[in-house]
Chains A and B, each alone.
Chain A
Amino acid sequence: MKNFLLTCLLFLGLAANAMAQEEVTVKGVVTDTNGEPLIGVNISVKNMPGLGTITDVDGKYSLKVTTFSTLVFSYVGFETEEVLVKDQRVINMTLKESVTQLIDELVVTATGPQEKITVTGAITNVDVEELKANPTTSVANSLAGVVPGIMAMQKSGRPGSVSEFWIRSISTFGASNAALVLVDGFERDLNEINVEDIESFSVLKDASATAIYGSKGANGVILINTRRGKEGKINISAKMEGFYNRFTQFPEFVDGYTYASMANEAKITRNQEPLYQPEELEIFRLGLDPDLYPNVDWMDVMLRDGAWSSRATLNMSGGGSTARYFISGSYQDQQGMYKTDKSLREYNTNANFKKYTYRMNLDMDITKTTLLKVGISGSLRKQDDPGVGSTAIWTALMGYNSIMVPVLYSDGKVPAYGDDGGDRFNPWVQATMTGFNESWQNNIQTNVTLDQNLDFITKGLRFIGRYGYDTNNSNWINRKKNPELWRAKRYRTLEGELIFERVVPERKMTQDSGSEGDRREFFEWEMHYNRRFRDHRIGGVVKYNQAAKIQTQQIGSDLKNGVSRRNQGLAGRVSYNWRLRYFIDFNFGYTGSENFHKDNRFGFFPAVSGAWNITGEPFMKEVKWVNMLKLRYSHGKTGNDNLGGIRFPYLYTIESMVDSDGNPTGGYQFADFNFDRYYGGMRYSSLASPNVSWEIATKQDLGLDFSLLGDKLSGAVDYFRERRDGIYMTRNYLPWMVGLESNPSANVGIVKAQGFDGNFTLKQDLGQVNLTLRGNITYSKNEIVERDEENTVYWYKMQEGHRVDQARGLVDLGLFKDYEEIRNSPRQTYGEVMPGDIKYKDINGDGVINDDDRVAIGATTRPNLTYGFGTSARWKGLNVSLHFQGVGKSTYFIDGSTVYMFSLGDGWGNVLKDMAESNRWISAEISGDPATEDPNADYPRLTYGNNSNNNRQSTFWLRNGSYIRLKTVDIGYTLPKAMVNRAHFNEVRIFFIGTNLLTWSGFKLWDPEMGSSHGKNYPLSKTLSLGVAINL
């Protein structure tokens, strides 16, 4: 908070910025082609950073300069003009509106920016403005539904948590399906980047775009380039936002009386004695004994209605023709939702998250042809948490029902339900009295790039060398303590006094700390060659790269941990096009990873792609409404060498055999009787898998890019197929007769996937209103072709032929109506069945319901369909945009103590209000109404304790995770230039952003996006934010 304030003051102070004065004063008026004065045009002096002015409301300016300097007139949306000052004292300038066409758009590819028309692979250029619209802590959170080809889900709403995302399809059940993220060319963490620093963001999806990355490219690549300085007067922008976060959905639980009554029902309906006598229920209802019959709304006790967050960024850029700079800093503070104990002034136990980033990019022209770029950036991310951690708190919040214990006993004793080191402490204790944890990550990145134009050797030749050096550190300090915790016995003494038992003794604060870290070094050089020979354009790139990553902390005694992970590769690209009409591209990566045996270390990943620019054809010249139409196809291979941290799988490990006391065993006693010459045995503790190598993805992509009606409607559609071979997995099902001590690993799995993604943008001007409509969609379906799994007589039990992570379970046929029906149905083997229990389908027809009747049901937790659409409108200074995002083809089971009511049978677990109020099977003896014995009820007959027949994965508990939500609403107003210019601002925009404001989903229990089976996670937030962006 303090920092935020300081930052604010900082740019308040900057408002009065410097103006220089030199020999002559030049005056003039800047107008557009219609003669209207332009307000706020930047006039700077070339090669004199800091010197310049802006035009006033009448378009007039006045500037003191030395003669023979060059004035640069620049204005957003207009062409920049330069004028040399000689002896003129009045320079009136007319600026022309700049005309940019979609065709001129640049796309950042693996080998640098490229004109969009020449791109043959499936690459999506993301509009950074769209990412900025989502004010979260991490860029990953704003990808879903915005970028075609990216699917994402946010599993937790805890401050600082980030979304899981994947490109196009999960095509492996191996260790990693994470995309490769390259920031300024090197592998870096997406989540530490401040979105305001991003210049370009592109997603490389097919093989032709990623083959260059060889064994790292199979899961797709995200390329991010950060902003760099531009020649001109200093440009300062600042942005401040204040957020108010609320949970999108708050799990609501029943009150004490309802819980106790339902617990009684659960007992009685199974012919057991009730838990509570009628007078005890009355005590609950009336709240007459808060010690033994409490009624606590833990959510209310624990959580605030909302939390405040703030974010501020400041960046400055500018420079002259020989050197340019971009400097930025940002600060973000996200507060947790826990209520904290106000008496604890020394520290804050809330789950707060703070992030600081900075970046400095410097470009220097050392010679006319040599450009040196230096970039330094860093981030510090700090996370606080209560001593037991957020997971324990949510477990307790969902496990503590309202009648378990009070917040405090009336004599001041602190209650706990049980002692297991955290989970069963009461949530209030967990959040406020268990100490606190701090963790932080600080990363520093450095890159140096040398860009040498080699036109003097042959025209079109360029050399780029790049070196990067990153250090990443994460540290944590956990401080734990807890007070003495008590639990009252079930009843009072005969005299009416409480009886206590101390559940947990007091623990004074202890602390421990830890750290993790790594250091990465990168080195690359590239030779580019681009040349046009009349109608033929040829391009070529050769790229050498090497990277090393070494664990720097906690490497332990295993020597393998001290060896850096190194990769090396040579990659290249040859492209050719004829008259920008026919394009052909060949890419390859020859990359190696020293993690594999030397015979399998290097792999060659080629890709070929072609495109046909139909609009380039003479016959299309007449078709005016088509501005661009391009067909693309690519086919190629990429790899995935991420085996999940396994080091040198080709090495075996031999261990001495020891018994449970640590003495040698498995050997031979060489000595005579009464003497000891025992030599223990040795054995393979892990077998070498020398043939292990990377996964290979063979990808095809057929795409169409279009731009129609004068660029009003544009977009792209891609169909993709992929086959992933050699998925690394442990061979668990080798016959015993092979006689192995441990299971070796091999590249045996195969998965294929296909799908499509696409997007469109429609722009239309209605009078003074500019309307934009945009949408995107990604759909994919994968299928396991081969996997090392146990054979079975029932084909449907195999994972083969199904999706990766396919949900499986029994198929329910509603609830049993009566005993008659139970007798006449196949025997269910999961325990005794009564009417009102779940009836299952006998899939294999053997008259018995057991695990052989489990089949694939639904889809996967992770969605297979993601879409987003939105609209934005601009009218003068006002802009409004809405963005909707949705997912489909996502199903998951719900389970656990929140869902299976009373399943733990010891009082732990809660009942969701929604479930209590919905229709459940109740026997007529209890409800007095035969209609409540509904075989189609939403929930089965209650059980106190686990009901192993009902509480198992089946279609009964399978929920559809699809949803659509109003992801962002962005309303902004840019103050009139006339007003802000007098205050020495260039532009001031005030905006309101709301995220996750509305959600439509069939699933009501908790936020569907989390994909959580039990809801015991920090829920996602809806955010209302108000901010101001200022440009000086």
Chain B
Amino acid sequence: MKMKNNVKIGRWQIHWMMLALITLCFASCKDDNEDQEGSFDPDKPVVVSDFIPKVGGLATRMVLYGDNFGNDASRVKVTIGGQNAKVVGVKNQSLHCIVPARAYDGDIVVIIVDENGEEIARAVSESNFVYEKKMLVSTFLGDYVEKESDRVIKDGPFGDCGSFRNMRWLTFDPQNPSHMYVACQQGGTRLIDFEREYVSTMSTNIDNVSSINWTLNGDMILSRDHSSDAAIGIFLFSRESGFTSRTDVCLGRGVKATAIHPVNGEMYFTRFRAGDVQRYDFGTGILETIFQNPYGGVHFILIIHPTGDYAYLVECERHYIMRTDYDWETERFMIPYLVCGSAGNAGYADGVGSSARLNWPMQGTFVKNPDYEAQGGDQYDFYFCDRENHAIRKLTPMGRVETFAGRGNNGTWGYNDGDLRLEARFNWPESIVYDELRKCFYVGDTRNFLIRKIGYEE
């Protein structure tokens, strides 16, 4: 009898074991949830004990240390120098915010607010942040789009003027500092009106505009980059017509850039296929070749020094820059010689003369450097776009090449505003102009489809 009982249990045991096995197959594991960081405790004081960095400027990433900040970024307000700082993250004992503009006083206040935005606690840092006004790269015009398909080219007021394409040349109207022109290879020639704060498209009926320059009496010279020996390459738009009346200047195939001598007024331009520099005299109408470029069939441009003493011949496609001195007697530029870079060797290196490396240098601009005043001689630095290095480089009169802006954080291309070398990034900067009035640079950042600005924060 006893035995029988046992056996029954045995049978059930087996069935239970099977059941257990089956259940095993269904089991699954659960993930643990992370513990929530401590939230704000109204009974405790809010404390700001320390912060880093101690010195910085607009958009510096600041970390605050302390206690009882809570864990909800929307309930924490930080002001630095009386300005609201964006709070990125908060973890009760630490907080990350972005230093706002004009935080000159540097006093740091942390305010905890309730759900209605009413202040319930505050803490002030003992020491103050040292706010330095510094030079920054910022976005001047154009919409940054996250997707290619959202990009539009359109006229409109600043803030709603679409994008810019293939900005090959930037220039200011020498007689109207509130008009900047952008030669866009596609999308027409754009006029940026600082007064009306409006971007419009200038109707020139010319495609592939490669450069815009100005005669000494203020007429506009447009070059058209085409591949015909028998077509007009350079046009003139007279100022008195409001740049509406167009005159043919001369033939020109593959004109990559024009330049007007700032003293004598004659025009020079570079030709792609022929690989030479042409001189055109507006008075006589004589067109002549003054020298041959070392390479034909390459992109190169000529930019004349404001004194007219020399010009830089930027060998875009061969990654180096030459200098050609002006012979004031013959009123002609002479055979050029190397200033920086190495012919045919693309690369990225700061240095003097041929030890520097460039990668597709493009438009450049001369800017007076007050530091040179004491020593006399050439007073101008040459800032140019180093397109495929995604940087703005600076060439000093002594032939030293430095990186002025871009490639932030050891990077290459990208889109970031901020500190010139630590943060800022460009993507194919092609054109640059210096605004004497506002003391800043504008950069045609082609592959970000934007016009960027380099200058001191306002």
Q: What separation, in Å, do the CA atoms of A263 and B81 have in the docked complex?
A: 34
Query: What are the residues of chain A within 8 A of B418 when measuring CB–CB?
Result: 491, 494
Q: What separation, in Å, do the CA atoms of A305 and B28 have in the docked complex?
A: 10
Query: What are the residues of chain A within 8 A of B7 when measuring CB–CB?
Result: 978-979, 982-983
Interface residues on A, range: 35 or more
Within 8 A of B (CB), among A494-543: 494-497, 499-502, 505
**Is B89 close to A, CB under 8 A?**
yes
Question: Would you call A278 and B416 a contact (CB within 8 A)?
Answer: no
**Is B417 close to A, CB under 8 A?**
yes
Query: What are the residues of chain B within 8 A of A985 when measuring CB–CB?
Result: 14
B229-267 CB mask vs A (1 if < 8 Å, else 0) is: 000000000000000000000000000000000000000
**Is A394 close to B, CB under 8 A?**
no
**Is B25 close to A, CB under 8 A?**
yes
Question: Would you call B63 and A288 a contact (CB within 8 A)?
Answer: yes
Do A491 and B91 contact each other (CB < 8 Å), given the known contacts A12-B15, A242-B21, A982-B7?
no
B156-186 CB mask vs A (1 if < 8 Å, else 0) is: 0000000000000000000000000000000
Interface residues of A (CB under 8 A from B): 1, 4-5, 8, 12, 57, 240-242, 244, 267, 272-273, 275, 277-280, 282-283, 286-291, 304-306, 308, 310, 333, 486, 489-497, 499-502, 505, 975, 978-980, 982-983, 985, 988, 990, 1026-1028, 1030
Query: What are the residues of chain A within 8 A of B58 when measuring CB–CB?
Result: 494
Q: What separation, in Å, do the CA atoms of A291 and B7 have in the docked complex?
A: 64
Question: Would you call A279 and B63 a contact (CB within 8 A)?
Answer: yes
Do A272 and B410 contact each other (CB < 8 Å), given the known contacts A12-B18, A57-B3?
yes
Question: Would you call B17 and A288 a contact (CB within 8 A)?
Answer: no
**Is B425 close to A, CB under 8 A?**
yes
Question: Would you call B94 and A496 a contact (CB within 8 A)?
Answer: no
CB distance from B367 to the nearest CB of A (A): 24
CB distance from B259 to the nearest CB of A (A): 35
Q: What separation, in Å, do the CA atoms of A489 and B426 have in the docked complex?
A: 12
Q: What separation, in Å, do the CA atoms of A499 and B410 have in the docked complex?
A: 19
Do A280 and B146 contact each other (CB < 8 Å), given the known contacts A490-B409, A490-B414, A990-B17?
no
**Is B338 close to A, CB under 8 A?**
no
Taking CB as reference atom, which chain A residue is nearest B8?
A982
Query: What are the residues of chain A within 8 A of B60 when measuring CB–CB?
Result: 279
Question: Would you call B415 and A499 a contact (CB within 8 A)?
Answer: yes
Question: Would you call B416 and A499 a contact (CB within 8 A)?
Answer: yes
CB distance from B79 to the nearest CB of A (A): 14
Q: What separation, in Å, do the CA atoms of A692 and B266 have in the docked complex?
A: 79
Question: Would you call A979 and B10 a contact (CB within 8 A)?
Answer: yes
CB distance from A284 to the nearest CB of B (A): 10
Q: List 21 A-B contacts (CB under 8 A).
A: A1-B26, A57-B3, A277-B53, A277-B422, A279-B53, A279-B63, A286-B63, A286-B96, A287-B89, A288-B90, A308-B28, A490-B425, A491-B59, A491-B423, A496-B97, A497-B86, A501-B146, A978-B3, A979-B6, A1027-B21, A1030-B14
Taking CB as reference atom, which chain A residue is nearest B415?
A489
B72-94 CB mask vs A (1 if < 8 Å, else 0) is: 00000000000001101111001
Question: Would you call A982 and B63 a contact (CB within 8 A)?
Answer: no
Closest 3 A/B residue pairs (Cβ): A496-B86, A288-B96, A496-B98
Taking CB as reference atom, which chain A residue is nearest B139?
A493
Q: What separation, in Å, do the CA atoms of A316 and B103 have in the docked complex?
A: 85
The contact of B24 among A489, A491, A1026, A1030, by CB within 8 Å, is: A1026
Taking CB as reference atom, which chain B residue is nearest A486?
B146
Do A490 and B10 contact each other (CB < 8 Å), given the known contacts A279-B63, A286-B91, A305-B29?
no
The contact of A242 among B25, B101, B144, by CB within 8 Å, is: B25
**Is B136 close to A, CB under 8 A?**
yes
CB distance from A267 to the nearest CB of B (A): 7
Question: Would you call B146 and A502 a contact (CB within 8 A)?
Answer: yes
Question: Would you call B146 and A308 a contact (CB within 8 A)?
Answer: no
**Is B11 close to A, CB under 8 A?**
yes
CB distance from A986 to the nearest CB of B (A): 12
The contact of A282 among B4, B28, B52, B416, by CB within 8 Å, is: B52
Question: Would you call A287 and B91 a contact (CB within 8 A)?
Answer: yes
Question: Would you call B98 and A492 a contact (CB within 8 A)?
Answer: yes
Query: What are the residues of chain A within 8 A of B62 when measuring CB–CB?
Result: 279
Question: Would you call A242 and B24 a contact (CB within 8 A)?
Answer: yes
CB distance from A605 to the nearest CB of B (A): 50
The contact of A983 among B10, B91, B138, by CB within 8 Å, is: B10
Question: Would you call A279 and B22 a contact (CB within 8 A)?
Answer: no
Question: Would you call A1026 and B63 a contact (CB within 8 A)?
Answer: no
Q: What separation, in Å, do the CA atoms of A272 and B138 have in the docked complex?
A: 26
CB distance from A262 to the nearest CB of B (A): 15
The contact of A489 among B94, B95, B97, B414, by CB within 8 Å, is: B414
Question: Would you call B59 and A494 a contact (CB within 8 A)?
Answer: yes
**Is B444 close to A, CB under 8 A?**
no
CB distance from A423 to the nearest CB of B (A): 21
Do A275 and B89 contact each other (CB < 8 Å), given the known contacts A983-B7, A1027-B21?
no
> Binding site of B, secondary structure by majority: helix, strand, loop or mixed?
mixed
Question: Would you call B59 and A492 a contact (CB within 8 A)?
Answer: yes
The contact of B21 among A240, A333, A988, by CB within 8 Å, is: A240
Question: Would you call B10 and A288 a contact (CB within 8 A)?
Answer: no
B201-233 CB mask vs A (1 if < 8 Å, else 0) is: 000000000000000000000000000000000
Q: What separation, in Å, do the CA atoms of A308 and B86 have in the docked complex?
A: 47
Question: Would you call A495 and B63 a contact (CB within 8 A)?
Answer: no
Taking CB as reference atom, which chain A residue is nearest B99?
A496
**Is B61 close to A, CB under 8 A?**
yes
Query: What are the residues of chain A within 8 A of B53 when measuring CB–CB?
Result: 277-279
Query: What are the residues of chain B within 8 A of A505 when measuring CB–CB?
Result: 147
Q: What separation, in Å, do the CA atoms of A531 and B45 have in the docked complex?
A: 104
CB distance from A6 to the nearest CB of B (A): 11
CB distance from B158 to the nearest CB of A (A): 17
Taking CB as reference atom, which chain A residue is nearest B89?
A288
Question: Would you call B52 and A490 a contact (CB within 8 A)?
Answer: no
Taking CB as reference atom, which chain A residue is nearest B21?
A242
Q: What separation, in Å, do the CA atoms of A278 and B51 have in the docked complex?
A: 12
Q: What separation, in Å, do the CA atoms of A57 and B15 have in the docked complex?
A: 21
Query: What are the residues of chain B within 8 A of A495 when measuring CB–CB?
Result: 86, 98
Taking CB as reference atom, which chain A residue is nearest B31?
A339
Q: What separation, in Å, do the CA atoms of A282 and B22 have in the docked complex?
A: 50
Query: What are the residues of chain B within 8 A of A278 when measuring CB–CB?
Result: 52-53
Question: Would you call B88 and A288 a contact (CB within 8 A)?
Answer: yes
B397-429 CB mask vs A (1 if < 8 Å, else 0) is: 000000000001111001111100011010000
CB distance from B71 to the nearest CB of A (A): 11
Question: Would you call A275 and B410 a contact (CB within 8 A)?
Answer: yes
Q: What separation, in Å, do the CA atoms of A4 and B411 have in the docked complex?
A: 56
Do A1028 and B91 contact each other (CB < 8 Å), given the known contacts A279-B62, A282-B52?
no
Query: What are the residues of chain A within 8 A of B86 when measuring CB–CB?
Result: 495-497
Question: Would you call B138 and A308 a contact (CB within 8 A)?
Answer: no
**Is B437 close to A, CB under 8 A?**
no
CB distance from B53 to the nearest CB of A (A): 5
Query: What are the residues of chain B within 8 A of A491 when measuring CB–CB?
Result: 59, 408-409, 416-418, 423
CB distance from A500 to the nearest CB of B (A): 5
The contact of B410 among A273, A305, A489, A990, by CB within 8 Å, is: A273
Do A240 and B18 contact each other (CB < 8 Å), given the known contacts A278-B52, A288-B91, A495-B86?
yes
Q: What separation, in Å, do the CA atoms of A979 and B408 have in the docked complex?
A: 79
The contact of A286 among B24, B25, B94, B423, by CB within 8 Å, is: B94
**Is B27 close to A, CB under 8 A?**
yes
Q: What separation, in Å, do the CA atoms of A923 and B4 have in the docked complex?
A: 80
Taking CB as reference atom, which chain A residue is nearest B64?
A288
Q: What separation, in Å, do the CA atoms of A333 and B28 have in the docked complex?
A: 14
Q: What separation, in Å, do the CA atoms of A272 and B7 have in the docked complex?
A: 80
Taking CB as reference atom, which chain A residue is nearest B60?
A279
Do A500 and B416 contact each other (CB < 8 Å), given the known contacts A242-B21, A495-B86, A1028-B17?
no
Within 8 A of A (CB), among B1-45: 3-4, 6-8, 10-11, 14-15, 17-18, 21-22, 24-29
CB distance from B419 to the nearest CB of A (A): 9
Question: Would you call B52 and A494 a contact (CB within 8 A)?
Answer: no
Do A489 and B25 contact each other (CB < 8 Å), given the known contacts A275-B409, A494-B138, A499-B144?
no
Q: What separation, in Å, do the CA atoms of A282 and B144 have in the docked complex?
A: 30
